[in-house]
Chains A and B, each alone.
Chain A
Amino acid sequence: MEELLFTLIPAIIVLPLIGALINMFAIRDGRRAGLIASAACVASFVVGLTAFILLAGLPHEERTHVDVTLWQWIDAGPLQVPFGFLFDPLSAVMVLLITGVGSLIHVFSIGYMAHDARPVRYFVYLNLFVAAMLILVLANNYLLLFLGWEGVGLCSYLLIGHSFERKEARYASMKAFVMNRIGDFGLMLAILALFQRFGSLNYGVIFPRAGELVGQQIDWVLGPTAVASAIAFCMLIGVTGKSAQIPLWTWLPDAMAGPTPASALIHAATMVTSGVYLIVRSHAIFILTPSVSNTTVYIGVATAFIAASIAIGQYDIKRVLAFSTVSQLGFMVAAAGMGAYTAAIFHLLTHGVFKALLFLGAGSVIHGAHDVQDMRRMGGLRTAMPATFWTYLAGTAALAGIFPMAGFWSKDEIVGSAFHGTRFGTYPVVGTILIITAALTAFYMTRQVSLVFLGRQRDTSYHAHESEGIMTIPLWILAAGSLIVGLINIPGFYFLEHWLEPVFEVAHAVGEPLPFSFTLAIITVALALGAAFIAYQVYANRQWKKTFRDPLTRYLGVFFEGFEHRWYADDVYEAMFVRPFKATASFLSRIFDPMGIDGLVNGAARLVGLGGRGYRVLQTGYIRSYTLVFLMGVVAVLGYFGFATVR
């Protein structure tokens, strides 16, 4: 059994890689490339599912020991890094999410990318991305995780810039890459610090010994700091970059310049969740440092609220979903910071399913509406694309947390953890903000559904049509999924909680299952429904004027403008970082470079020239003088050996 498991795990990663290679070198036809890429991803999912079942068959305590080292990756003195994979309950569920949702998105893409200029390239990127993401979650050490981490960053860059003819796509891809690099730097520092403390990067070495960090301190400019806090904080920087949290969150909304299915895969279901995965994976370190864990909570909850408020003021169908993703990631990060690791992973999984559904639904709308993305030009698409509408409605309900959809269970668990308390205490304020955010979520999603599907079509210059079966079938599957996936950690059974227990046992981080609170559930659902009702009233059956003005401007005024302009975060960053950077760059290129660097280089050359002119005097051309110098050297060497070393 174990033998089989050991051969299956590398295959999970290799299959999408093979798909990418075949498409890269052998395939020219877009549809065929899509079929191959989808087949590779589905095969990977099947293998992953088999491995998952095998893992479930193992005894409880052996489930964290499925560790396959393929070869020694880096062998440099004390730095020993294996190219090895750890297939434990945590990475197993991640694999299922990545390959499962990934497969559906691949299939959807076949239809969506049918008219694209470079579909083959797109599918190569997509498969590469899946492989990199699988490396990230399957790695058994931090360096391999970092390889996957950078790999998904690269694929994200490539996919955002897929239609590089458009200027905004180019800028968005660069922005995503640069912002991610800032975060990656933090993660890199954390990895270096871990190596310095433990002499290894393997999870199996670090986590059991993480307790050694208690009481260790380092002195630096800001005074003594606990080592565990420093490491966790550096990781947190990485998390804010990858999972689009404050302050490194502005790249994700712009990343919507990429193809919509790619957004569904990367910027909703998988890559952006890797930050949450990192925290959960490194829980052994995070539980040692309440301060950084609390910082994580505050970052998460602030991001959740702010992003949700911005989502209210957006008109681009994908932008709304992008900010919604940022907001939901805030939920997960907050949960992970609280120490409610199972809740974080639970929400990660459910969100991965229903947000993929929403993004694909949005993709279907854009596809059917001939690349219209502005919701002000839509309306009434319900009749034109019923399949998309119903599945979208299911996704909306799931995201808004309406019983019995998936989002209800997972979001409720996070909010419940905040009120009920975790190892770090209770978070009543955080919980309250999260409930309000959940209501905002219901509001902006209902607003979106009303604007897109309800009412009458405002811009009649195009004829919307329903997408073909290859696109709607994944939507139906995901819609069913967003109903079912909530059951994996349903109160009373807590399958996921028990499944993940072995992972958290190492650092004694197992929490007891949360008692289900009916009061809380009723409050959240009531608020969500109320918010949805208001949004429906405001947006659905409304006569729009030619100049579209959001009705909320009247009630919220300047606040709504803030929503609309994303709280001016980009402008602040522009003024604080981009402009000073550009000014410095221009100073360097116009003044420092020609005078400083060139001066240095030319000066060095001139110095050598002068030296040569002086040295010429020594070149008499007389052989005898050369011989004399030679003899001086001989005498010096002999003298050294004769007097210095003999004794």
Chain B
Amino acid sequence: MELALFIITALVTVGAAVAMVLSHNAVHSALWLVLNFFGVAILYLLLNAPFLAMVQITVYAGAIMVLFLFVIMLLGSEKGQEEVNGLPWQTPVALVLAVVLVSIAGYAVFVSPTPALATQSGAAGTSTLTIGAPDEVARSLFTTYLLPFEITSVLLLVALIGAVVLTLKSREGDRA
């Protein structure tokens, strides 16, 4: 049952990702990406990470993608923008590299698994249900990782200011 759910979700996720890369309309790409994010969120749930699943949906599928769509429509760059292709031979090389990359991953994961990947035994399997619960995450976040957490808030503040400054400056340039 769980495996079936995983396979379906995985297929949807991969399909959405491929569609995102292939579609010619940037808005479509964004929407495919949203689908992909939802798939990943479901996988998080399967992995006992309900809190992250919610964060994934609210931050990624919600905030970030909305921002993307807003910018696409603001700039009017849904379509095209692909006329100029400076590197015609890039695509085949990229595809070959992609295949090689996946093969390496497959080899590393299935053929010669590292100890870290070895099938669960011992510690895993027992009481897996509790680790991803919001209270568990919160405890870790506000004790062990308190400093990184605070620094992240500063980072967000900087990003906020940066975004404002970048757009504000160019507006002044327009006026002048």
Contact = CB atoms under 8 A, between A and B. Distances in A.
> Is there a contact between chains A and B in the complex with CB atoms less than 8 Å apart?
yes
B51 to A, nearest CB: 31
A624 B90 contact: yes
Contact of B108 (A622, A625, A642): A642
B94 interface: yes
Interface stretch (A250-258, A304-312, A330-338, A631-639): A631-639
Contacts of A622: 86-87
A639 B90 CA distance: 21
A628 B112 contact: no
A41 to B, nearest CB: 66
Interface in A614-647: 620, 622, 624-625, 628, 631-632, 634-635, 638-639, 641-643, 646-647
A638 B101 CA distance: 8
B114 A624 contact: no
Among the interface residues A624, A635, A642, A646, which one has the most CB atoms of the partner chain B within 10 A?
A642
A631 B96 CA distance: 11
Given A628-B94, A642-B108, A646-B108, A635 B101 contact: yes
Contact of B87 (A620, A632, A643): A620
Q: Is the interface of A mostly helix, strand, loop or mixed?
A: helix
Contacts of B86: 620, 622, 624
B107 interface: yes
B111 to A, nearest CB: 9
Contacts of A624: 86-87, 90
B104 A632 contact: no
B-side interface size class: 10 to 19
Contacts of A620: 86-87
B72 to A, nearest CB: 20
B90 A643 contact: no
B101 A632 contact: no
B114 A646 contact: yes
Given A642-B104, A647-B112, A635 B87 contact: no
B157 interface: no
A632 B97 contact: yes
A176 B90 CA distance: 73
A628 B104 contact: no
Interface string B81-113: 000001100100110010011001101100010
Nearest to A625: B87
The binding surface of chain B is classed by DSSP as: helix
A634 B100 CA distance: 11
B107 A643 contact: yes
A624 B82 CA distance: 13
Given A632-B97, A646-B114, A647-B112, A638 B104 contact: yes
A638 to B, nearest CB: 5
B101 A642 contact: no
Contact of B93 (A628, A634, A639, A647): A628
A631 B108 contact: no
Interface in B27-70: none
Given A620-B87, A625-B90, A628-B90, A639 B112 contact: no
A612 B100 CA distance: 32
B116 to A, nearest CB: 11
A647 B113 CA distance: 10
Contacts of B93: 628
Contact of A639 (B94, B100, B114): B100
Interface string A261-281: 000000000000000000000
A643 B107 CA distance: 8
Contacts of A643: 104, 107
Contacts of A647: 112
A641 B114 CA distance: 11
A420 B117 CA distance: 91
A647 B115 CA distance: 11
A635 B114 contact: no
Nearest to B107: A642
A632 B97 CA distance: 7
A624 B93 CA distance: 12
A639 B112 CA distance: 13
A593 B107 CA distance: 59
A644 to B, nearest CB: 11
B112 A635 contact: no
A632 to B, nearest CB: 7
A622 B88 CA distance: 12
A641 B87 CA distance: 30
A646 B93 CA distance: 27
A635 B100 contact: yes
B104 A635 contact: yes
| Most interface-central of A622, A631, A641, A647 (chain B CB within 10 A) | A631
A624 B87 CA distance: 8
Contacts of A631: 94, 97, 101
Contacts of A625: 87, 90
Contacts of A642: 104-105, 107-108, 112
A185 to B, nearest CB: 59
A643 B94 CA distance: 21
Interface string B112-125: 10100000000000
A624 B100 CA distance: 19
Contacts of B87: 620, 622, 624-625
A625 B91 CA distance: 10
Nearest to A647: B112
Contacts of B114: 646
B173 to A, nearest CB: 24
A635 B97 contact: yes
A574 B136 CA distance: 91
A646 B112 contact: yes
Nearest to B100: A635
Interface in B108-166: 108, 112, 114
Contacts of A638: 101, 104-105, 108
Contacts of B112: 642, 646-647
25 contacts: A620-B86, A622-B86, A624-B86, A624-B87, A625-B87, A628-B93, A628-B94, A628-B97, A631-B97, A634-B101, A635-B97, A635-B100, A638-B101, A638-B105, A638-B108, A639-B100, A639-B104, A641-B108, A642-B104, A642-B105, A642-B107, A642-B108, A643-B104, A643-B107, A647-B112
Interface of A: 620, 622, 624-625, 628, 631-632, 634-635, 638-639, 641-643, 646-647
The 7 nearest A-B residue pairs measured at CB: A642-B108, A642-B104, A646-B112, A622-B86, A638-B104, A639-B104, A635-B100
Given A628-B93, A639-B100, A646-B112, 10 more contacts: A620-B86, A620-B87, A622-B87, A624-B87, A624-B90, A631-B101, A632-B97, A635-B97, A643-B107, A646-B114
